[in-house]
Amino acid sequence: MAFQLNGKPLAVDVPFTVGTGEDAVNYPANWLRLSTAEEKTAIGITEVADAPTYDSRFYWNNGTARALDDVNATDENGDLLKDENGNQVVNEGVKSVLKSKEKITAGSLLAKYDWYVTRKSEKGTAIPAEITTYRDAVRTACNTRETEIDACVDTAALVTLYDIKEDGTPNMTQYPTEPKL
């Protein structure tokens, strides 16, 4: 909650003064936290609800849901937009953006162990089974997560997918734990 005095915002944990001249009363920084609603009201302080915040992955700043699916870009006349090579410009939807992020995550998890693949290619040295199993599990998890994203029919379903359950477990498939070598 935010507070206002005479229509002006009051910062929590900052001292403030009510009145002027000889009638001025100085209040300490912790007063807003420690005072009751009645005490605040008695000197003219009102509570104002905080502006809502929205998860920018799914919503615009005003709370409007972002488009889930890709759409062809158009100009102000509704004509399709083409790039300099004549290709259709596409505005990516939330699902495409999230799936791209999954690919980046999977790529970064795999990259740590790419040297095993290079060594195998150059020297013929076997890749440890734990590494092969882990890399396969990363790819499987990424594919499963992308499928889970695609299965969401609306923004609420996507938000739920990315939320954590009450018991602390995720709703979404998790990437595997790195191997201990």
Binning pLDDT at 50, 70 and 90, where does residue 34 land?
very high
**Residue 181: per-residue pLDDT:** 79
Range 2-11, long-range pairs (CB < 8 A, 24+ positions): 2/47, 2/48, 2/49, 2/50, 3/32, 3/40, 3/45, 3/46, 3/47, 3/48, 4/45, 4/46, 4/48, 5/43, 5/44, 5/45, 5/46, 6/44, 9/48, 10/45
- Whether the per-residue pLDDT at 7 is higher than 90: the answer is no
**pLDDT above 90 for 53:** no
pLDDT at 14 over 80: yes
Question: For the whole model, what pTM was predicted?
Answer: 0.73
Please say if the pLDDT value at position 1 is more than 80. no
pLDDT range class, residue 49, cuts 50, 70, 90 = confident
Strand-pairing partners, residue 48, are 2
Question: What's the rounded mean pLDDT across residues 62-85?
Answer: 95
Q: What is the pLDDT of residues 96-146, one digit of tens each?
A: 999 999 999 999 999 999 999 999 999 999 999 999 999 999 999 999 999
| pLDDT for the residue 31 | 94
pLDDT score for 73: 95
Share of the chain above pLDDT 90, in %: 87
Asked if the model's pLDDT at residue 80 lies above 80, the reply is yes
pLDDT of residue 50: 80
pLDDT at 55 over 90: yes
